[in-house]
């Protein structure tokens, strides 16, 4: 292994309330993206492409589907020391409660972290969309002889309140760290960049710690969160520096950010693309048939995953996930459709026209604009979903609205003729 002295921890245990109802039955890292992937595939693939093979996923909330995905996807051969290992929250003689935050999660797994005696520990989030080579990041960390290195990126003022903002001196050493400042007065004295469009440096939630420094920070108190507690307190006791990342990065923390990042994948020149043979994004291999699009269908700016079937329908600027069934006579635009699980299709899909349930997928004559349709949803004939940007947030019987986006939850049934 290229970097066998580094342990990687991917944080995946949060409730993910801002992504509800996509997180009603799964954790944030297990949310489907790009037609066939899961969000957790992004950081894992970045690690594998960068030569980091000692990877741990810290899980806690709604973790069954995430566990299934990890165990069915990332299998190393018996001659490799690499592994993608699940570290689930558990009761032990020293810890009897759930993870209380990002730092607390790592603290409660320090025994596993220390076991291979790493030189450095890299900590990543399981719900970010980006492609990054971590090797130059590690080289910078060691060259700077840092105790902790933060990956940062320039951001506009509009994004400041949802990110950790960093102030550095001329040598790149961090002087101040302000987590999600709601009051701009908290940034008084923070040096801005020369770029008026992106004047602030924001933490990406991607860290490399010198292992012994990490142990010191976590063992000296019971602080629960890296951004709120650990990093600000470490400024006076440890050498903290930054590493600037200039590529695309998106925190998939809300329904709106997930929706917009997903639709951006369909652009002719998308800010993030899964089409990179040099640095592929890995996921679970599944043996579905090719997509089938019948005569009379029109697709424009569509990501179409395998196993899908589209019958005499028009689809524009949409993501169509694996095993999706659409049509006939459907008009769908600006929509993220996650498709279906093979098991759901095999066991629970009644023959068309039989029983009380419509088939899994989108039925005849539907008109859908501006929606997220989760897996295994059954949308009856003639359903209309309208794109209303000022739609108030609501939770109805078979849909939810968040930030102007209609979300059809996993396994939901929308009766024929419904207008949303």
| String of DSSP letters for 22-66 | TTSSS-GGGSEETTTEETTHHHHHHHHHHT--EEEEEE-SS-HHH
Write out pLDDT tens, residues 105-134.
Answer: 888 888 889 989 999 999 999 889 999 999
Q: Is the CB of residue 177 less than 8 Å from the CB of residue 128?
A: no
Residue labelled with tokens 């492409």: 49
pLDDT at 131: 97
Strands 83-88 and 54-59: parallel
Write out pLDDT tens, residues 351-407.
Answer: 555 567 899 999 999 999 999 999 999 999 999 999 998 999 999 999 999 999 999
Let me know if domain 6-264 sits in CATH 3.20.20.70. no
pLDDT at 91: 46
Q: What is the pTM of this model?
A: 0.92
Write out pLDDT tens, residues 135-164.
Answer: 999 999 999 999 999 999 999 998 898 888
Q: Is the CB of residue 312 less than 8 Å from the CB of residue 297?
A: yes
Q: Identify which of 397, 300, 391, 319 has the alpha carbon closest to the alpha carbon of residue 31.
A: 319
The pLDDT of 294-319, averaged and rounded, is 97
Distance of CA 235 to the CA centre of its chain: 29
Structure-token pair, residue 249: 């990065």
Sign of CA dihedral 286, 289, 294, 299: positive
Q: How far from 172 is each of 150, 176, 197, CA to CA, in Å? A: 10, 12, 21
Beta-carbon contacts of 400 under 8 Å, excluding residues fewer than 6 positions away, are 20, 21, 393, 394, 406, 407, 409
Residue labelled with tokens 């949802």: 162
| pLDDT band at residue 343 under the 50/70/90 scheme | confident
For the chain, how big is the Rg over CA atoms in Å? 23
Residue 344 has pLDDT above 90, yes or no: no
Q: Per-domain residue ranges for the chain?
A: 6-264, 292-414
Per-residue buried b or exposed e for 110-131, using 16+ beta carbons within 10 Å of the residue's own CB: eeebeeeebebbbbbbbbbbbb
3-class DSSP state of 166: strand
pLDDT at 288: 93
The fold of 292-414 is UDP N-Acetylglucosamine Acyltransferase; domain 1 (2.160.10)
Beta-carbon contacts of 38 under 8 Å, excluding residues fewer than 6 positions away, are 29, 30, 31, 32, 66, 69, 283
């Amino acid at each position: 292994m290229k970097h066998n002295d580094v342990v990687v921890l991917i944080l995946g245990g949060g409730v993910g309330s801002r992504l509800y109802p996509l997180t009603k039955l799964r954790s944030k890292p297990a949310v489907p993206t790009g037609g066939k992937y899961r969000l957790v595939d992004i950081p894992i693939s970045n690690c594998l492409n960068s030569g980091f093979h000692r990877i741990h996923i810290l899980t806690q909330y709604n973790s069954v589907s995430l566990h299934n995905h990890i165990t069915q996807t990332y299998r190393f051969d018996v001659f490799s020391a690499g592994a993608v290992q699940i570290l689930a929250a558990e009761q032990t003689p020293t810890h009897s409660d759930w993870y209380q935050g990002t730092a607390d999660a790592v603290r409660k797994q320090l025994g596993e972290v220390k076991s291979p005696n790493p030189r450095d520990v890299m900590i990543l989030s399981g719900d970010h969309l980006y492609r990054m080579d971590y090797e130059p990041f590690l080289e910078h960390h060691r060259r700077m002889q840092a105790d902790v290195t933060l990956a940062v990126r320039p951001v506009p003022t509009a994004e400041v309140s949802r990110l950790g903002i960093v102030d550095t001196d001329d040598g790149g050493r961090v002087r101040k760290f302000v987590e999600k400042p709601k009051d701009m007065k908290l940034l008084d004295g923070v040096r801005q960049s020369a770029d008026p469009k992106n004047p602030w440096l924001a933490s990406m939630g991607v860290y490399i710690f010198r292992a012994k420094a990490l142990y010191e920070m976590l063992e000296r108190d019971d602080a629960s969160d890296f951004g709120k507690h650990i990093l600000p307190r470490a400024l006076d006791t440890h050498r903290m520096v930054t590493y600037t990342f200039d590529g695309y990065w998106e925190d998939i923390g809300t329904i709106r950010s997930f929706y917009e990042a997903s639709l951006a994948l369909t652009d002719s020149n998308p800010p993030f693309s899964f089409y990179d043979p040099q640095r592929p994004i890995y996921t679970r291999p599944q043996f579905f048939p090719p997509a089938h699009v019948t005569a009379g269908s029109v697709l424009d700016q569509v990501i179409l995953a395998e196993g899908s079937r589209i019958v005499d329908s028009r689809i524009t600027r949409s993501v169509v996930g694996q095993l999706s069934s659409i049509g006939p006579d459907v008009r769908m635009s600006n929509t993220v459709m996650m498709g279906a699980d093979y098991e759901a299709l095999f066991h629970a899909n009644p023959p068309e026209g039989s029983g009380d349930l419509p088939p899994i997928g989108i039925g005849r004559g539907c008109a859908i604009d501006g929606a997220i349709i989760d897996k295994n949803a059954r949308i009856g004939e003639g359903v209309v979903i309208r794109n209303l940007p000022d739609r108030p947030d609501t939770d109805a019987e078979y849909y939810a609205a968040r930030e102007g986006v209609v979300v059809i939850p996993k396994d939901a049934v929308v009766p024929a003729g419904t207008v949303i």
